[in-house]
Amino acid sequence: MSFDSLGLAPDLVRAVADAGYEQPTPIQRDAIPAALDGRDLLGSAQTGTGKTAAFALPLLQNLNDRVAQDPKLLALVLTPTRELAAQIGESFETYGRYLDLYHTVIFGGVSDKAQIKKLKEGVDVVVATPGRLLDLMNRGHLDLADVELFVLDEADRMLDMGFLPDVRRVVRALTSRRQTLFFSATMPDPIRALAETLLHDPVTVAVARVATPVDLVQQRIYFVDRGNKRRLLVELLQGEADGRTLVFSRTKHGANRIVKELGRAGLTAVAIHGNKSQSARTRALAGFRDGNIRVLVATDLAARGIDVEGIGHVINFDLPNVP
């Protein structure tokens, strides 16, 4: 099956081909036709399944069919973290390159001046995190009354991060006459209940990863005293060939200490977590993607949805809170 067989417009098929994609993933194959038909969608899919394109492509096409000459906010994508918002914004840039549509990304941790300026100039799509979105709404910089296409991404992470009250406040500002695409990697009871309140006669799409980690990843466990963990980490990294390594730390303070230890051993490493400014997190991710930084140390919340190719090793410095 090819992308043009899904009913996508030629300009979108062309943009997808330019990005190097030849065949849709299972969730794209199942979700795109239903979304193009205007149906609400309940998608259960993890990061790495092609989920972003599964909602971005039909959203762009449906939006392109109804936009006027001047930009007007008709579509909203709500996502839990700054990094996810930035990555989704990049996807809209990639897939919408041949369309006359305008989008912007809104998140906290940076000055809001450029974001407000962009909103005043006019946009068709906003990709946002809940906190900054509500702040700009409360200050009168943006109105969701005309939004007809709403995407809630990573709903279970919204729950984990305590954002569900903010999500409900955003939803109350939307018209009931809208199309809603709802995505979550897992479906705990609060998320299922939220989906039932937001969706009308949805199409359900459940897609697992193409292969499980056990199929693709060689896994090891090391038993070591707490006081020797950082020394062991240095030895492991120094003994491996060059390549990107992602290290998970349970706490922000722990992530900073790991970076200092690796730096003393001559290894280039940076940390990303909630205490880092958005500009610092963006620089860290860019350096990691480019290969200038070998080791990225992250807390689990900060790392959710990070999409970087060529990672050779993933190390849980601390046992994860959630398996």
pLDDT along the chain (323 residues), means of 10: 90 94 92 96 82 95 85 95 90 95 93 95 96 96 96 91 93 94 91 94 79 64 88 87 82 90 90 80 83 86 64 83 56
Where b means 16+ CB within 10 Å and e means fewer, 153-186 reads bbbbbbbbbebbebbeebbeebeeebbbbbbbbe
CA 95 from centre of chain: 16
Residue 210: the pLDDT is 43
Phi, psi values for residue 318, rounded to 5°: -115, 150
Residue 127: the pLDDT is 98
Domain ranges in the chain are: 3-207, 213-316
User: Which of these, 136, 130, 205, 119, lies nearest to 170 by C-alpha position?
Assistant: 130
Spatial separation of the C-alpha atoms in residues 287 and 274, rounded to whole Å = 18
Residue 304: the pLDDT is 58
Residue 152: the pLDDT is 97
Contact predicate 156/186, CB 8 Å: yes
Specify the 3-state DSSP secondary structure of 107. Answer: coil
Q: What is the fold of 213-316?
A: Rossmann fold (3.40.50)
Residue 211: the pLDDT is 44
Residue 8: the pLDDT is 94
The CA–CA distances, whole Å, from 69 to 63, 64, 146, 242 equal: 12, 11, 16, 51
Token representation of residue 237: 């990294």
Q: What is the fold of 3-207?
A: Rossmann fold (3.40.50)
Give the HSE-up count for residue 107: Cα atoms under 13 Å, Cβ half-sphere. 23
Q: Model-level pTM?
A: 0.74
**3-207 matches 213-316 in fold:** yes
User: Which of these, 165, 118, 174, lies nearest to 143 by C-alpha position?
Assistant: 174
